[in-house]
């Protein structure tokens, strides 16, 4: 068995592993950092939906470059770690023993399939959406010659993939037991707008309806039976029903897991053993506002955790660690951008938070006669007594992709509506809403009037 030695071993080359390794090297240039990853070619996971349509068209156009990691002096190796001995500080692949001083689990997540679907997933024509190039290529090749596609799950991954297939004229149905699409990120009045657009784009939505059976003939899928009795003829079924933390290795090594199966970590991403860290989708998460365990899995969240871990391996450099996910996310449906951060009004009510909401609808250019002007609506959710912003949702043009990041900062920095009402912003007719109608400030103003 080959023997290798390093100071910091990072297991997993996704966004979390890569950024932990880069950050660790920047803070500890004298240390030897080794990143081991399973796949030689790593996909950019967030762009997987766009390999199915003509935006990217193939997985070859969606390969994450290793250069940013390797150029910083981090060593990389392709392989699978099968075993970790925490006591001996050693990890093993099939032919190599790696000794380490610090270890970071960045083993990510894999598709979650409900127990009731565990047999169905073995049928020809039934797929999940893993982040592995070979499997995405298999799915793409199979779907290319098929017409009737059914997707189970109306989260952003199911919707984004469905929209790409619909663009090439395929008949796409999305099924979800929830009454509304994207329901974890948007309140009903915004989710309904997303549904209207998705239907315009050619998707058939079966919401508030559960899968009862997967129909098959000779081991090949033929349809999906719904609880309300209907059968949807399907040549392909894609299960987009979420992801679960990949923690088999950590569990075998004796690490403590938290609710929803992620590796238990503190805010600096340390396990109880302060030489062992976990970051990204494999780590347990809490919600930033409610402090409840969270199932949110996002590359952006993973990278924030990676920066906190990478700078805290040997010494805690910054007092700010990772303090919970704000579930910040954005997507496009046709030419409209949808984005969300923090808690929704519905979630706030479930958590018994005393909140006030304000929605302002304006235009993203001024005056509204500017040729590319489109409607922009901002909904803010704030605490009733302090006015602290705890959530926001936006629909508009592409600028929404960055506007939501302002709301993310407001949430993380505990900003109140009073600060927002006199916020100084740069505005320009060709670039933004009018200063007189700046949507974030106007939504804050609406909230302040409603507050007790």
Ligand X SMILES: Cc1cc2nc3c(=O)[nH]c(=O)nc-3n(C[C@H](O)[C@H](O)[C@H](O)COP(=O)(O)OP(=O)(O)OC[C@H]3O[C@@H](n4cnc5c(N)ncnc54)[C@H](O)[C@@H]3O)c2cc1C
Residue bearing tokens 């199915």? 52
Nearer to ligand X, 251 or 428 (CB): 251
- What SS3 class is residue 227? coil
Crossing angle of helices 400-412/439-450, nearest 10°? 40
**Interface with ligand X in residues 300-319 (CB under 6 A):** 300, 302
Crossing angle of helices 299-310/15-27, nearest 10°? 20
**Interface with ligand X in residues 322-361 (CB under 6 A):** 329
Q: Would you count residue 395 as binding ligand X (CB under 6 A)?
A: no
Which one of 106-114, 140-148, 175-183, 366-374 is the stretch in contact with ligand X (CB under 6 A)? 106-114
Nearer to ligand X, 8 or 36 (CB): 36
**Interface with ligand X in residues 149-168 (CB under 6 A):** 157
CA distances in angstroms from 97 to 1, 2, 24, 100, 430, listed in the order given: 7, 6, 22, 10, 59
| Binding mask of the shown chain, residues 278 to 297, with x at each position contacting ligand X by CB under 6 A | --xx---------------x
Nearer to ligand X, 23 or 302 (CB): 302
Q: Site size for ligand X, by CB under 6 A?
A: 35
Phi, psi of 167, deg, nearest 5: -60, -30
Least distance from ligand X to the Cβ atom of residue 313, Å: 17
Q: Which of 10, 25, 45, 290 binds ligand X (CB under 6 A)?
A: 45
| Structure tokens given for 68 | 């940013």
Least distance from ligand X to the Cβ atom of residue 71, Å: 19
Residue bearing tokens 């966004």? 15
* E strands present in 161-318: 171-176, 203-207, 211-217, 220-226, 231-233, 236-239, 243-245, 276-278, 285-286, 293-294
Q: Nearest to residue 268, comparing CAs of 258, 279, 259?
A: 279
Which one of 25-33, 45-53, 171-179, 213-221 is the stretch in contact with ligand X (CB under 6 A)? 45-53
Q: Which of 6, 9, 10, 15 binds ligand X (CB under 6 A)?
A: 15
* 148 in Cβ contact with 236 (< 8 Å): yes
Least distance from ligand X to the Cβ atom of residue 243, Å: 7
For residue 2, give the H/E element and its range: strand 2-5
Nearer to ligand X, 249 or 390 (CB): 249
Q: Which of 104, 106, 255, 289 binds ligand X (CB under 6 A)?
A: 106
Q: Which of 8, 9, 14, 345 binds ligand X (CB under 6 A)?
A: 14
| Structure tokens given for 302 | 């993973």
Least distance from ligand X to the Cβ atom of residue 447, Å: 28
* E strands present in 351-449: 355-363, 375-383, 389-396
Please report, as ranges, the residues that interact with ligand X according to CB under 6 A: 11-17, 36-39, 42, 45-46, 48-49, 80-81, 106-109, 129, 131, 157, 246, 249, 280-281, 297-300, 302, 329
């Amino acid at each position: 068995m080959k023997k290798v030695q390093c100071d910091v071993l990072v297991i997993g080359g996704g966004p979390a592993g890569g950024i932990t390794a880069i950050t660790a090297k920047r803070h500890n240039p004298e240390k030897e950092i080794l990143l081991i990853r399973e796949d030689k070619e790593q996909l950019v996971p967030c762009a997987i939906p766009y390999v199915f349509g003509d935006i990217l068209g193939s997985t070859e156009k969606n390969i994450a470059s290793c250069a940013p990691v390797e150029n910083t002096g981090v060593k990389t190796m392709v392989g699978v770690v099968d075993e970790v001995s925490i006591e001996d500080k050693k990890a093993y692949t099939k032919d190599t023993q790696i000794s380490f001083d610090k270890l970071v689990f960045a083993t990510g997540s894999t598709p979650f399939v409900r127990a009731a679907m565990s047999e169905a997933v073995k049928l020809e024509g039934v797929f999940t959406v893993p982040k592995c190039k070979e499997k995405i290529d298999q799915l793409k090749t199979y779907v290319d010659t098929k017409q009737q596609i059914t997707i189970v799950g109306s989260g952003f991954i199911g919707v984004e993939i469905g929209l790409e297939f619909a663009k090439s004229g395929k008949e796409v149905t999305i099924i979800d037991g929830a009454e509304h699409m994207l329901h974890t990120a948007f309140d009903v009045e915004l989710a309904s707008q997303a549904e209207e657009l998705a239907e315009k784009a050619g998707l058939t939505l079966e919401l508030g309806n559960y899968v009862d059976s997967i129909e098959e003939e000779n081991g090949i899928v033929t349809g999906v039976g719904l609880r309300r009795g209907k059968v949807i003829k399907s040549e392909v079924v894609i299960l987009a029903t979420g992801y679960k933390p990949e923690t088999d290795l950590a569990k075998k090594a004796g690490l403590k897991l938290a609710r929803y199966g992620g590796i238990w970590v503190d805010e600096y991403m340390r396990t109880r053993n302060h030489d062992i860290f976990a970051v990204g989708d494999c780590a347990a998460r809490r919600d930033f506002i409610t402090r409840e365990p969270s199932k949110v899995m996002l590359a952006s969240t993973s990278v924030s955790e990676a920066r906190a871990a990478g700078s805290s391996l040997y010494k805690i450099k910054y007092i700010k660690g990772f303090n919970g996910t704000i579930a910040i996310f954005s997507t496009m449906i046709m030419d409209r951008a949808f984005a969300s951060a923090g808690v929704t009004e519905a979630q706030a009510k479930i958590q018994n938070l005393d909140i006030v909401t304000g929605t302002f609808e304006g235009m993203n250019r001024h005056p509204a006669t500017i040729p590319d002007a489109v409607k922009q609506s901002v909904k803010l959710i704030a605490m009733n007594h302090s006015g602290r912003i705890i959530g926001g949702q936006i629909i508009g043009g592409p600028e929404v992709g960055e506007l939501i990041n302002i709301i993310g900062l407001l949430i993380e920095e505990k900003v109140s509506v009073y600060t927002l009402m006199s916020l100084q912003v740069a505005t320009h007719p060709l670039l933004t809403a009018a200063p007189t109608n700046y949507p974030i400030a106007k939504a804050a103003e609406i909230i302040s009037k409603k507050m007790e």
